[in-house]
Amino acid sequence: MYGIIARLSNGPGISRRGPRGLPLLLFAGIKRTMRTIILGGTGFIGQALARLLCGQGHEVVVPSRRPEKVSALFGALFGGGPARKIVGAPFDGQTGAGWAGLITPDTAIVNLAGENIADGRWTPDKKRRILESRLDAGAAVMDAIRQAGVLPAVLVQASAVGYYGARGAEGVGEDAPPGANFLARVASRWEASTLEAEALGVRRVVVRTSMVLGRGGALAKMLPPFRLGLGGPLGAGTQMVPWIHLDDEAGAIAFLIQTPGLSGPFNLAAPEAVDSRGFARALGRALKRPAFLPVPGFALRLLLGQMAEEVLLSGVRAEPTRLLAAGYRFRRPRLAAALADVLDHA
């Protein structure tokens, strides 16, 4: 196990079993195999985390509505045969049926599942799916823990820096209160969807993620106009753009899983703060293209409505205060180097 001292549930049928052993530290010399169940494991972040853990010799289970496709997907990503330590499990999207029995006292559960927030205009139906997909995934995690009859070693619950709402240039740590806009309300309820796990005695970590830079995600949508020399800041360009390289997103989650004693919220954002104007300049330099053509705020609002206002034209300077204090060392702490690495592998 991870060396966690867990409280036993007052409810029926949930207990701790098995010997307590040394903590599993991803970056330490002592390595033990473990199982990590990743909801949302076929997504942008989930794939990176699964590959990282598998590369370290650990077993990864990805619950999916099409479990037979999981091994094929990761086999292709690894460049050949089946990924023997990444396997699929049945998942109906709302319960633990099909994968609850895989939970052991040495298991980590990572809940990354949720509808993409930046994929088009927020219609009423889109907003409903954004919220319900997250609440359903949280309910599935709790159902699986109850079905399992044992408590997992740790639960990592995804969230986003949108939790803080629109902020200025002042640094925001994990102790800041939530905002009041749609994204902040979604993030608050997303985090709360698995809060019951703490009462049961599970060590729970909440990761509030920034814009993740990698092959895919938000950066892939930005590249076409920037490659043509038509890129630039969004709106006034003064809103902060918290970001993190995909290597650090996956690395930080693995670090939090495997470091005993860490719990609560963590901002997953690189230490270097940048606003939209600075981000556009850095991306332009990385591509050797001009990047001075601003995208007017009114045009973004006309095209994308509330999504533009909350995702593109508002920002927060989220600082990785607790992550740094815990001893995590960023592989890509500077934007220029992070962009260069992504583009070199694009």
Kindly list the domain boundaries of the chain, sorted by start residue: 35-344
User: Is the distance from CB of 39 to CB of 110 less than 8 angstroms?
Assistant: yes
Both structure tokens of 202: 């599970």
pLDDT of residue 3: 31
pLDDT of residue 27: 35
Radius of gyration of the chain (CA): 20
| Under-50 pLDDT residues of the chain | 1-31
DSSP 3-state of 1: coil
**pLDDT tens digits for 316-325?**
999 999 999 9
pLDDT of residue 71: 81
CA separation for the pair 333, 320 (Å, rounded): 11
Report the topology of domain 35-344.
Rossmann fold (3.40.50)
Please state whether 214 falls in left (phi above 0), alpha (psi between -120 and 50) or beta: beta
pLDDT of residue 346: 67
